[in-house]
Structure 1
Amino acid sequence: MKIKTESSIKKKTDLLCGFVLENSNKVLGLSKIDRKIALSVNQSLKDMEGKLGKLSIIPLPEDKYTKRILLAGLGKREEWTEDTLRNVSGKIAQKARELKLKEFSIILPPSFEIDPISSISQIIEGSKMALYKFDKFKAEKTENEPNLTIIVSESNKISKAIRTSEIVADSAIFTKSIANLPPNECTPTTLANFAKMISKKNKMKCSVISKLELKKKGFGGISAVGQGSKNEPKLIVLEHNNGPTNQKPIVLVGKAVTFDTGGISLKPGDKMDEMKFDKCGGCTVLGIMKAVSELRLPINVVGIIPSVENMPGGESYRPGDIIKLYSGKTAEILNTDAEGRLILADALSYGEKQFSPKAIIDFATLTGACIIALGTNVAAIVSNDEKLTRKINDSSKRTSEEIWELPLNQDYMDMIKSDVADMKNVGIGRAAGTITAAAFLKNAINNTPWIHFDIAGVAWTQTATKEKSYNPKGATGFGVRLILDYLQKLES
């Protein structure tokens, strides 16, 4: 999709789209139209009533500047969220594709209704992401992707907003594309190759620590989880060094289990195919790092991705094993399906020790308990720093990637104490499963501000996932837009 701006609503276009508030008698930003066209528009306004997500198309005579006008309902103004325009724009883009159009135009709502810069990002993100379809392995591809023109009345700062929004949306799509790959097409080595590709293109430093070196350097968690598979484990490190040399970086860590059988503690067969999505945390970090470099943010950011395949076999780690993590602490293994916290603990400790960061943020499809607690539309967060949590919450509201903070006090830390090691890799029964997993991770952090995202419920579309036009079936790219918003606010 190519995106550009135009100052006139009388631009030649296949489809001119305008937004309508519920029970409104006007189209936002649409004025000075022919009387005959106005009559048709007014009738459609009465029929559709501006209901949220409702679309109405008005065909026009051939000699007009547009072949059709599309009215898109935004619902009641007082019920708008930051996601309303994004979701409805996605529906418009999908309708343009359905009509097999080469291009379409959307009128930017006037600034008295909504901030134009926010509108730009929401329209572009919704339109681009709604047209994404994972058809890599289908004989019949979804070919046409209509181009978008945004009709604006004021162009100040618009061009920068468009470029930024395109990069953010493309990076979320990049994340989805990798996360959707099946396990036979995406191993830890494949992820490392993706990292090398984006680092080469965007001039970032990339290093990959492989099996023998991982063992030699004391990455006991990554080594143990990855030893049961013929596909060797990797620790992938990307560095964007565009800030002052003395500036502490933000470290992002993403769990990337390219396929999770559960290991010796084998998962049930039902829905095990979805465990290709157990790499979503790492894919999120890849997408963020891609965008950070393309946006040339004047800050320092490090992406760390521990990647393994968790398989049963003669060399697999076992329940009852005691392993030594990178931090020097020991962990008793009670369940080999609680593997994500082991590889994350190594990566978190390494990130803190190696880079002395300003903050550490991690993403992981970590616990099924998170889905029980919060469902499939809200991610859980656990943090040790109120200021960092506040900033992340602000970005969550702007990007509509919803989060909810869970507590982490000493009682939860006590629940993972082991009789034979420093800690055990599961808590007590089914109680507080999401929090005890986070407690395990907290043991890997010393004093650095840290926030943990459990994205098990939101990383891909599941049975109870709320339908959004820009989240087609499969991986959602959750967290990419949120963290990019946070990082851009750091820049400013």
Structure 2
Amino acid sequence: MKIKRDSSAKRKTELLCGFVLEDSNKVLGLPKVDSKTTSSINQSLKDMNGKLGKLTIIPIPGKKQAQRILLAGLGKKENITNDTIRFVSGKIAQTARELKLKEFSIIVPPTFVNDSVSSISQIVEGAKMSLYKFDKFKAEKVDKSPDMTIIVSKSSKISKAIKIAESVADGAIFTKSIANLPPNECTPTTLANFAKNISKKNKMKCTVISQPELKKKGFGGITAVGKGSKNEPKLITMEHNNGPKNQKPIVLVGKAVTFDTGGISLKPGQSMDEMKFDKCGGCTVLGIMKSVSELKLPINVVGIIPSVENMPGGEAYRPGDIIKLYNGKTAEILNTDAEGRLILADALAYGEKQYSPKAIIDFATLTGACIIALGNNVAAIVSNNEQLTEKITTSSKTTTEEIWELPLTQDYMDMIKSDVADIKNIGIGRAAGTITAAAFLKSAIKDTPWAHLDIAGVAWTQGAATKDKPYNPKGATGFGVRLILDYLQKL
């Protein structure tokens, strides 16, 4: 999909798309048309009434500039949000593809011009992400995506806004594409190769630590979880150094369990196929790093991805084992299906020690308890720093990737104390499962500002419980990519 800008709403196009507010009698930004077309538009406006997401197509007879006009309902003006524009733009793009068009045009309404950069970002993101479909393993591929022209008044900022939005959307799509890969096609080594290719193309430093070195350097969590599989674990590091040399980096850490059987504490068979999505945190980091490097953001960012396959093999770690983590603490294993916190603890401690970062943000499909608490449309955030939480929350409102803060007091830290080791890898029964998992992560770092995003409920679409959005087709959602890119750009 190619996206360009044009300042004329009278350009030749197969489909000219205009937005309509609820209870409105006009199409925002539409140029004057002949009386016959005007009559058709007026009748359509009465029928659709600008209801959110409702689309109407009007054919234009004769040799006109536009072959068809599409009216897209935005709902009530006071209810319009960034996600409204993203949602409706996605429906427009999908309709253009269904019509097998080569291209279409969207008019940016004059009422949006005061914040045209933001509106254009949402239009681009909504349209581009809505045209993504995972068809890698299908004989019959999805029809080619049509190109899109954005019609907006002249502004030097518009072209830049389009470029940024395209890169952000591409990062999210890249994350989805990898996260959707089946476990036989995506092992820890595969993820490492993706990281190497991105880094080589965008001139980032990439380091991959493999099994022998992981064990030698004391990555006890990653080593323990990964040793039950023939696909050896990896610790992947990517460095985007485009800020001042003395600037402390932002470290992003993503859990990447390429498949999670639960290990010896075997999961139930039902829906176990979805455990290919247990790598979504790591895929999120890959997508962010790809966009950060392509946008050449003038900051320092480090991506760290601990990647394993959790299998119940002959050498698998067991309930009752005591392992030593990278930070020197010992952990009692009570459940091998609580593996994500073990590999993340190693990566968090390593990131803090190696890079002395300004802040650490981690992403993980960590706990089913998060779904019980918040459902499938909101992620949990747990943090040791109010300012960091506030900044991420502000960005979440821009990107409509919703998060909700959960507390982390000393009482929760006490719940992971072990009788035979420093800590244990699950809390007390089922109580506060998301928070006790975060407590385990907090114990891995010292005093660096840190935020943990539990994306277990939002990383992929999970049936009717997931809100239907055209830019999140079935499968991985890429949650967190746009959110953190917004946060990083605001730095």
TM-score grouping bracket, smaller chain normalisation? over 0.9
Matched, 1:366 2:369: no
The answer for the alignment partner of 2:468 in structure 1 is 467
Is residue 458 of structure 1 aligned with residue 485 of structure 2?
no
- Paired residue for 2:485? 484
| Superposition TM-score, scaled by structure 2 size | 0.99
Per the alignment, residue 287 of structure 1 pairs with: 287
Residues in 1 aligned to 2:304 and 2:153: alpha-carbon distance in whole angstroms: 43
Secondary structure at the counterpart of residue 417 of structure 2 = coil
Whole-angstrom CA distance in 2 between matches of 1:388 and 1:191? 29
Q: CA deviation at 1:109?
A: 1.5
1:296 paired with 2:296, answer yes
Corresponding position of 2:109: 109
Instruction: Indicate the SS of the match to 2:75.
Output: coil
C-alpha deviation, 1:313, in angstroms: 1.3
Within the alignment, does 1:163 sit opposite 2:163 as a pair? yes
Say whether 1:415 aligns with 2:415: yes
Q: In structure 1, how many angstroms separate the alpha carbons of the residues matched to 2:77 and 2:323?
A: 56
Residue in 1 aligned with 2:121?
A: 121
* 2:221 is equivalent to residue 214 of structure 1: no
Q: 2:112, 2:119 within 8 Å by CA — same for their partners in 1? A: no
Which shows bigger deviation, 365-374 or 151-160? 151-160
Q: 1:233 and 1:89, CA in 2 relative to 1: closer, same or farther beyond 3 A?
A: same
CA contact (8 A) 1:406 1:435 kept: yes
Amino acid at match of 1:316: A
- Which residue of structure 1 aligns with residue 185 of structure 2? 185
Instruction: Determine whether 1:132 maps to 2:137.
Output: no
Aligned to 1:69: 69
| Preserved contact between residue 18 and residue 71 of structure 1 (Cα < 8 Å) | yes
- Alpha carbons 1:321, 1:333 under 8 Å: kept: yes
How far 1:34 moved relative to its partner? 2.2
**Secondary structure in structure 2 of the residue aligned to 1:157:** helix
Give the whole-Å Cα distance in 2 for the aligned partners of 1:362 and 1:275. 19
Write the letter of the residue equivalent to 1:66. Answer: A
Deviation at residue 112 of structure 1 after TM alignment: 5.0
2: distance between equivalents of 1:310 and 1:449?
A: 30
Q: Distance in 1 between matches of 2:306 and 2:114?
A: 41
Determine the C-alpha separation between the residues in 1 that align with 2:111 and 2:219: 53
Q: Distance in 1 between matches of 2:304 and 2:113?
A: 41
Name the amino acid aligned to 2:138: K
CA distance in structure 2 between the aligned counterparts of 1:238 and 1:144, rounded to whole angstroms: 33
Match in the other structure for 1:224: 224
The 2-side partners of 1:147 and 1:155 are apart by 21
The answer as to whether partners of 1:129 and 1:173 remain within 8 angstroms in 2 is: yes
Where do residues 265-414 of structure 1 align in structure 2 (5 Å cutoff)? 265-414=265-414
TM-score normalised to the size of structure 1? 0.99
Aligned residues, how many? 490
Specify the SS of the correspondent of 1:282: helix
1: CA distance, partners of 2:113 / 2:156: 17
Measured in 2, the distance between the counterparts of 1:453 and 1:370 equals 10
* Whole-angstrom distance in 1 between the partners of 2:403 and 2:372: 15
**Does the aligned pair in 2 maintain the 1:363–1:454 contact within 8 Å?**
yes
Name the structure 2 match of 1:242: 242
Shift of 1:445: 1.1
In 1, Cα distance between equivalents of 2:291 and 2:382: 25
Q: Which has the higher mean CA deviation after the structures are superposed, 79-88 or 421-430?
A: 79-88
Q: Give the drift of 1:9.
A: 1.1
What do you get for the CA RMSD once the two structures are aligned? Answer: 0.8
Q: Secondary structure at the match of 1:145?
A: coil
1:445 aligns with: 445
Q: Could you tell me how far apart the structure 1 residues matched to 2:394 and 2:359 are?
A: 16
Counterpart residue identity of residue 419, structure 1:
D
Cα distance in 2 for residues equivalent to 1:119 and 1:41: 24
Separation of aligned partners in 2, 1:318 and 1:107? 60
Unaligned runs of 5+ in 2: none
Q: Distance in 1 between matches of 2:143 and 2:210?
A: 39
In structure 2, C-alpha distance between the alignment counterparts of 1:235 and 1:112, rounded to whole Å:
45
Residue 114 (structure 1) shift:
5.8
Per the alignment, in what secondary structure is the counterpart of residue 90 of structure 2?
helix
Work out whether residues 188 and 231 of structure 2, in 8 Å CA contact, stay in contact via their aligned partners in 1. Answer: yes
1:113 Cα deviation after fit: 6.5
Cα pair 1:109 1:119 within 8 Å, conserved: no
Question: What is the CA distance between 1:32 and its match in structure 2?
Answer: 2.2
Give identity over the alignment, percent.
82
Q: What 5-or-longer segments of structure 1 have no aligned partner?
A: none
| Partner deviation per Cα, 1:219-260 (whole Å, 9 max, x = no partner) | 000000000000000000000000000000000000000000
Residue type at the aligned position of 1:185:
E
Within 2, Cα distance between the matches of 1:150 and 1:220?
Answer: 52
CA distance in 2, matches of 1:233, 1:410: 33
- Give me the whole-angstrom Cα distance separating, in 1, the residues matched to 2:108 and 2:34: 20
Secondary structure of 1:83's match? helix
Deviations along 1:105-164, one digit per CA (max 9) or x if unpaired, are 000121457610011110000001000000000000013210000111232300000000
